[in-house]
Amino acid sequence: MAVLEVTDQNFEEETNQGLVLADLGAPWCGPCKMIAPVLDELDEELGEQLKIVQLDVDSNPETARKYDVMSIPTLLFFKDGELVENAVGFRTKEELAGIAKNHG
């Protein structure tokens, strides 16, 4: 699987089944750019157990408002559509994999 770009319109649909990590960020955000390769590596390693989606908060403000996103990147973990954990700012692959395993 690859990291999937989502929008306000399909965010809920794409996060309602299984374990999903949603990366809410923006193209101009330095830490967001730093986390992108980490998410790609995580997808390669855990792609069968973890779906990863990305949302541009500038183009999709409704979802950012709904989840009270104040800083980016904000990483939201969903299990079958329910928000189970969130993390703000850059995180290592090991940290994210640990969170995913806790909820997997």
Residues labelled catalytic: 29, 32
At which residue do the structure tokens 């940290």 appear? Answer: 95
Residues 6+ positions from 60 with CB-CB distance below 8 Å? 6, 7, 8, 11
* Spatial separation of the C-alpha atoms in residues 69 and 46, rounded to whole Å: 25
- Copy the structure tokens of residue 104: 């997997």
Beta bridge partners of 85: 77
Between helix 93-103 and helix 30-46 the angle, nearest 10°, is 50
